[in-house]
Structure 1
Amino acid sequence: MLHALKRLIPVAVPLGLAFGAGTGAMAQSGGDIYPVSDQPSLNFYGLPGLVDMPEAQALPDGQLVLSVSSFGGITRNTLSFQATPRITASFRYVGIQDWNSDGFETYRDRNFDVRFLLNRESRIWPAVTVGLQDFAGTGINAGEYVVASKSFATPGIGAARLPGTVRVTAGLGWGRLGSSGSIGNPFGTERPTFNPNETGGSFSVDQWFRGPAAPFGGVEWQINDTFGVKAEYSSDAYLPEAAQRGVFTRTSRFNFGAEYQYSKALRLGAYYLYGSEIGISAQLQLNPKRPVTDMRQPAPRPIQPRPSRTSDPAAYATDWAAAPSATLTLRDRLAPLLRQSGLYIEALSVTPTQAELRFLNTRYLSTTNAVGRAARAMAQVMPASVETFRIVPTSEGMALSAVTIRRSDLEALEFDPQAHDALLAVTGFGEAAPRLAGAIDGGDVYPDFSWSIGPYLNPSYFDPDEPIRADFGVKASAEYRLASGWLVGGQVRHRLAGNIGSSNRPSNSVLPRVRTNAREYARGADTYIETLYGSRQWKTGQNTYARVTAGYLESMFGGVSAELLWKPVSSRLALGAEANYVKQREFDRGFGFQDYSVATGHVSAYYELGEDYLAQLDVGRYLAGDVGATLTLTREFRNGWRIGGFMTLTDVSSEDFGEGSFDKGIAMTIPINWFLGKPTRQAASGTIRPIQRDGGARLSVPNRLYEQVRSGHRDAVAGQWSRVLQ
């Protein structure tokens, strides 16, 4: 059997996990100080800043930040991501206690921010950043700013010099950042006022950099790797909170704070704000490029060199190939070597000079890693006359690409200092035929049964009564592969506890309720079928792949789904089409269906932008019958992390859509090996939406083709080529 019976082992990752010793704060050159910290301090909005005001420096590329701050009854929870070296994007959830107005006792709001680093700090010039704060919400936190920051050596001479470094910040703000100490209206345009009853979610272009502007500034003294202090002059009058509703009393424009770097990842702070309030913050910073645990895996098998032709010409004889059982014998010798690396033979073909191996990878997230291990095993087993290795990774029976490596190159370059680059230069990437003529199969690969059991957590966000709801329990999953490309799979869940079903807010949607009846599904049954389906995947021809899936496809819908994908091995572009006919499942998620049915589907374009950025455009019909398009931009790190954002616009008006105006959100995938430090293909994925409505809702289908296929194509394999000899 391909897999032994396996059990899913829960992985706990404490948020307060220390990542090592404290980080150095600054580096000195020619009397000037440049910030090189990989954990810059943040403000109360979860972005590089002073106390409440922004600074100009950017986070390190790829940095992911979770922050919580609270003062005066105002709590802000922020997720920030340095999407590119210059662009920072943030999502924030705000709660304001004692609002007691406009129908809200506690007012809750969702914000999106984006900021762009215009200029990096140098010996002479400061860092300069322009930012949009809460640019697509109701506008309570809306503000724009241009800010500059410069780092300096602390004052003093020689031994009398104060420790650490100082950063000075000055900026000009609009919106709520221009509400105190205004110097006028630079652009002569009035700004729309905040309305707490707006549905929000639309881009507020008409208010960007409009209305009064006010200066702000401050200073930050990073005393050492552990301690820092801050002082600022704030340009935020807190008109809705302090002046209009008395949430807290604002008597000063000055704020002060002290911060403690508890660990490499965690920074804590305490503050005195606006002359009346004590505040606290916690800032957790992670970088996908820096795993929690170093990868630990068995050393690769050394390449078995052949004798030279001149010293042993008999070793290169090809009469062995005439034996009827030659390929079978080689398969039986190769299979156990591959199995040690979690690789399994799908098909094998051997001629006197060439061997083609098609294999299934069950261990390595990187296909390149698997290709290298397969090549080493082949070099140990194949007769000396076999010079060319065609190594073909597969996914659910589909041949993805043919990686062609000369055996003599492997032997010559294994210990070369530039082995990876040199080997890539002489390696070929090409199309693999749908079927390998004259090959023998892997023997005991199919049929295969695997199962797992473990906990599940099903979160629900941003209910006004309970911002975070969740159900949790036990799930049991099973997969049965009858033959190459044929799969029957499913998952059963048993809810142990949770509060999603206890919500007192029924759906007010005017659209077919394809997602907003989550409360009814949560109340339906404690034990239910999450998915139960059968699928067939195959390669239909050159560059084309197909999938057909039928059954209970997701928690709320069941039916039939068909997909066709065109993706050349060396192309950045892929095109796909998916058609589905589904019915809504009963609330108990048993075997029954409700009356609602819909034909839904999309045509899709996928493009690899380079530098690990991906773009996807899906155009078609959604579950509520609306028609439109979804744009997704994703950054994929080479260790398997994926962080992206999406937005969907359809023919549903913002009024009919309801709160949020249109569907949008953040999707994230975290590879489990980032925490475990050992090879595994498992990953945890999730999506955060500011609000889940019925417009723009897309069917969830298991095992869509693009990611399966792309993982074995040239850009994915060559992009991680440094792993080929690991």
Structure 2
Amino acid sequence: MYPLAFYGFNRVGSKRLSVCALLATTSFLSCSAAADGIAGQLGTGQSDFGGVGIMQTPSARMNPLGEMSVSFSRTAPYRRYNVFFQPTEWFEGGFRYVEVENRQSALFDRNLDKGFDAKLRLLDETRYWPQLAVGARDIGGTTLFGAEYLVASKRWYDLDFTAGFGWGYLGNASDIDSPLGWLADRFDDRSESSGAGGGELNTGQFFAGPAAFFGGIEYQTPWNPLILQLEYEGNNYSDEPQGNNQAQDSRFNAGARLAISDNAELHAGWQRGNTAMAGITFNLNLAGLSQVKNDPRPLPLGAEPQADWATVSQVLNDNAGMQVERISRRGDSITVTAQPEQFRSLAQSEGRANRILHAQADNSIDSFRFDWQERGLPLRESVHNREQFAQAATSADLEYAYRYGIYAQASLGNSAGETLYEAPAQRFSWQLGPQIDQNFGGPDGYLYRLKAVLSGEYQTDPNGWFSGSLAWTLLDNLDNYEYIADSNLPRVRTFIGDYLTESSLGIEHLQYTRTAKLSDNVYAMGYGGLLEMMYAGVGSEVLYRPFDAPWAFGADVNWVRQREFEQRFELRDYSTWTGHFNAYLETGIEDVLAKVSVGRYLAGDFGATLDFSREFDSGVRIGAWGTWTDAGDDFGEGNFDKGLYLAMPLDAFFTFSSRERATIRWQPLTRDGGARLNRQYELYDLTQERDMGNYWKDYDRMWR
């Protein structure tokens, strides 16, 4: 179960923002943050299976960078629920659930099969050459609808042509023998076995066995919202999963797509020559999310000075979005030591702060310095020339000298000089508001828990703080949760149903955390208490992160003991050591961050987790992870675990700026294998401003 959204108050007690718990779904229907949509455009429609295609077949087309498409379609006896992403211009990926209406599940009310898809663009379309792509459906697991394909698409005026051939489910018509049989014997016949455990890759099926041709045409009608479709599919429905063969009167399918808004479209058709299809798609471009802001305007350059430096500190908080720890003067320079609180771009905070300091400082001050910290950890220092800033603020012709006069360096955390203002060391803050925990992707369907959460924090000094949260369940459907992943591993996560239903009021976490900078590039953190819903204990983390380097590595170690289901202070008998060595790399490829963690998991199994994620300019981060351990079949279903996540910046949806995010996660099952401790804070996240990568990209925000 994972948090989706919340609202409350920030550390200094000022009102922050209210977030609708259903934001992630309603934004598809109506959201001024969304960019111009793709509904009703040639080559952008979602197939019945999800992913860009016609109806039953894929095309070589890719959606715009950052596009997310959520779709539903029904062609009896199948209902398909699809979520697909375009994380790069050349790769499409997503997952689906297929509900088989006329077959019963041995364990659940509905017969659901999950599947992953991937499509890779091989060639761009040119004047003479089509776009070419290769892909696979229903990768791993049961592979009931597993298929691979090679497909080409070519645009001609208002027509978009697609042709290809597929294996597996897309090639059941068997028009030709294995086209790859000459490469190796394994391609001659397609393996009938699959990852019956639900978590295995059956590479013996890939591009093996006979193949069939498929293709189609889309026509953009003179009425722009309407697109007509004609398709020839490669499946003859004589070898359907679960012995569920269907009559087919024709391999030709006809259909249409109708845009009902910029981001939503209906689709309908007649398939197999005897069966109706209907569906709907919602699109949202994650890379283009933005919202016009109603933040306080930056102070004018010639504003009146404040009464004292304590008042300046408050104005810096209110207008520049920085929590000031100290303001000091040394020679001809003023240094503000602060923690970013409101704006995602430090350039925007610094530009606003420059105006405030320019109005306050006497004529002997030549430069402004910003010593950025997070939880007492010095991260970096930015230096601005006062005169050049003032000139650039009044004339765009003088901006060049100012821009290239800004420089940044690693913060030493020891801003010396005369103290003009210092914030009190001890601070208390709290927040109260609704929060929704949700989990979808398991065989028991969508689980949710709406709760009221009271959170508080007491800062003992810049490097240490107590934090805690108390949750009261208001509404849930957790009675639907069923534990099915029997294994020989200790039940370290599969008691989730007991934790969520045993008590309506519980302490979600209560701990003390302390940070330290051990050397110029080494950071450390220690913590202890009720660390999460299920575990109490103590732990520590160390991180080596050079300034503005694309890589970092560290380690964490934790001793934990399982908490009682009531989520008070009582503990259960199970205890263990868990920890990992962690490596991070900004790959430089499509802004992808790679993270590898190797170590011991909560159930005592050893293994590794590989995580890839990408952050768009909008601040949205999309990622996927997989975990492999020595638990083997004891995982309970398959031999590895996997999941997807989407971190949405609230800044993209509201008219005032925020550094907060709402995270949505998808994980097929709650398992005991590969389970990690859900730590409240991680050093890599706390030291993000150590990276200068986005500073120059966001430079234009200096003037907002």
Judged with a 3 Å threshold, the aligned counterparts in structure 2 of structure 1 residues 506 and 632 are, in CA distance, closer, same or farther, namely closer
**1:718 offset after TM fit, Å?**
3.1
Match of 1:146 in 2: 150
Residues 293 and 351 (structure 1), Cα distance of their counterparts in 2 relative to 1, 3 Å cut = closer
Q: Is the 8 A contact 1:399 1:539 kept in 2?
A: yes
Matched residue type, 2:373: T
Aligned positions of 1:698-709 closer than 5 A: 698-709=676-687
> Equivalents in 1 of 2:516, 2:43: separation in Å?
47
- For the 8 Å contact 1:501–1:522, the answer to whether it is kept is no
Please show how residues 388-537 of structure 1 align to structure 2 within 5 Å.
388-415=367-394, 417=396, 423-438=402-417, 440=419, 442-464=421-443, 466-505=444-483, 507-537=485-515
Write the deviation string for residues 683-715 of structure 1: whole angstroms up to 9, x where unpaired.
101321122211111111112111221235322
Q: Distance in 1 between matches of 2:623 and 2:433?
A: 27
Matches for 1:40-439 after TM superposition, within 5 Å: 40-100=44-104, 106-153=110-157, 165-188=158-181, 189-194=187-192, 198-223=196-221, 224-241=223-240, 244-246=243-245, 248-291=246-289, 293-304=291-302, 331-332=309-310, 334-341=312-319, 342-415=321-394, 417=396, 423-438=402-417
What is the TM-score with the length of structure 2 in the denominator? 0.91
- How far the C-alpha of 1:71 sits from its partner, in A, is 1.2
Give 3-state SS (helix, strand or coil) of 2:492's partner.
coil
- The range that moved more, 37-46 or 277-286, is 37-46
SS of 2:88's equivalent in the other structure is: coil
Per mean C-alpha deviation after superposition, the further-off stretch among 235-244 and 695-704 is 235-244
Match among 652, 659, 663 for residue 641 of structure 2: 663
Query: Residues 41-70 of structure 1, C-alpha deviation per residue, up to 9 Å, x if partnerless?
Result: 111111111111011111101111111111
Q: Quote how far apart the aligned CAs of 1:292 are.
A: 5.7
Deviations 1:314-343, CA, capped at 9 Å, x for gaps: xxxxxxxxxxxxxx9863353233132232
Using the alignment, how far apart are the partners of 1:254 and 1:419 within structure 2?
65
2:29 pairs with 1:16: yes
Determine the structure 2 residue equivalent to 1:686: 664
Contact 2:381 2:409 in 1 (8 A): yes
Look up the equivalent residue of 1:396 and give its one-letter code. R
User: 1:289: Cα distance to partner?
Assistant: 2.6
The CA deviation string for residues 646-669 of structure 1, in whole angstroms up to 9 with x for no partner, is 11111221x221324211111211
Give the alignment of 1:569-584 within 5 angstroms: 569-584=547-562
Residue type of the partner of 1:543? N
Q: 1:115 offset after TM fit, Å?
A: 0.7
Worse-superposed segment, 2-11 or 119-128: 2-11
- CA drift at 1:217: 0.7
Is the Cα contact below 8 Å between 2:42 and 2:160 reproduced in 1?
no
Question: What TM-score do the two structures reach when normalised by structure 1?
Answer: 0.88
Deviation string 1:133-173 (CA, Å, 9 cap, x unpaired) is 112221111111111111112xxxxxxxxxxx111111111
- CA 1:694–1:350 in 2, change beyond 3 Å: closer, same or farther? same
Aligned equivalents of 1:191, 1:626: Cα separation in 2: 37
Structure 1 279/570 Cα, relative in aligned 2: closer, same or farther at 3 Å?
A: same
Structure 1 residues 71 and 38 mapped into 2: Cα distance closer, same or farther (>3 Å)? closer
Q: Alignment identity in percent?
A: 31
Q: Deviations over 1:224-281 (max 9, x none)?
A: 43111111011022345489325x5333211111111111111111111112221111
SS across alignment from 1:667: strand
Aligned partners of 1:289 and 1:639 also within 8 Å: yes
Tell me the equivalent position of 1:595.
573
Distance in 2 separating the partners of 1:652 and 1:195:
22
What amino acid is the match of 1:81? F
Equivalent residues of 1:25, 1:222 under 8 A apart: no
Bigger drift between 95-104 and 276-285 goes to 95-104
Aligned partners of 2:242, 2:315: CA distance in 1, in Å?
73
Residues 76-109 of structure 1 deviation map (CA, whole Å, 9 limit, x = unaligned): 2121111111011111122112124888874322
Structure-1 residue corresponding to 2:4 = none
Higher mean alpha-carbon deviation, 580-589 vs 382-391, is at 382-391
Deviation of residue 190 (structure 1)?
A: 4.0
Q: Which residue of 2 aligns with 1:309?
A: none
Which residue matches 1:156? none
Q: Give 1:498 deviation, angstroms.
A: 1.7
Alpha-carbon distance in structure 1 between the residues aligned to 2:575 and 2:403: 51
C-alpha change, 1:446 and 1:701, in structure 2 (3 Å) is same
Give the partner amino acid of 1:299. Answer: R
Contact 2:441 2:666 in 1 (8 A): no
Structure 1 residue 216: deviation in Å? 0.3
Q: Which runs of 4+ in 1 moved over 6 A?
A: 101-105, 418-421
Counterparts of 2:36 and 2:341 in 1: how far apart (Å)?
37
Matched, 1:646 2:639: no
CA distance 1:424–1:142, change in 2 (3 Å): farther
Once the two structures are superposed, residues 370-400 of structure 1 have per-residue CA deviations (whole angstroms, 9 ceiling, x without a partner) of: 2222222222222222212221122112221
Matches of 2:565 and 2:485 in 1, distance apart? Answer: 15
Q: Distance in 1 between matches of 2:681 and 2:674?
A: 21
Pair 1:442–1:695, CA change in 2 (3 A): farther
Paired letter, 2:499: Y
1:633 aligns with 2:646: no
The alpha-carbon deviation at position 304 of structure 1 amounts to: 4.8
What secondary structure, in the 3-state scheme, does the structure 1 residue paired with 2:29 have? coil
The whole-number CA distance in structure 2 between the counterparts of 1:24 and 1:9 is 29
CA distance in 1, matches of 2:73, 2:497: 30
Amino acid at match of 1:43: S
Between 1:71-80 and 1:285-294, the stretch displaced more is 285-294
Q: Deviations over 1:407-464 (max 9, x none)?
A: 2321232355477775443222211113333453854454222222222222232443
Contact 1:229/1:259 (<8 A) preserved: yes
- Number of corresponding residues: 681
Instruction: Return 196-205 or 124-133, whichever deviates more.
Output: 196-205
Amino acid at match of 2:231: E
Distance 1:581 1:91 in 2: 36
Higher-Rg member (1/2): 1
- Check conservation: 2:379, 2:690, Cα contact below 8 A: yes
Give me the CA root mean square deviation: 2.7
Kept after mapping to 1: 8 A contact 2:260/2:266? yes
- C-alpha separation between the residues in 1 aligned to 2:36 and 2:525? 50
Cα separation, partners in 2 of 1:635 and 1:422, compared to 1, 3 Å: farther
Out of 569-578 and 338-347, give the one that drifted further.
Answer: 338-347
Query: What is the identity, as a one-letter code, of the residue corresponding to 1:283?
Result: T
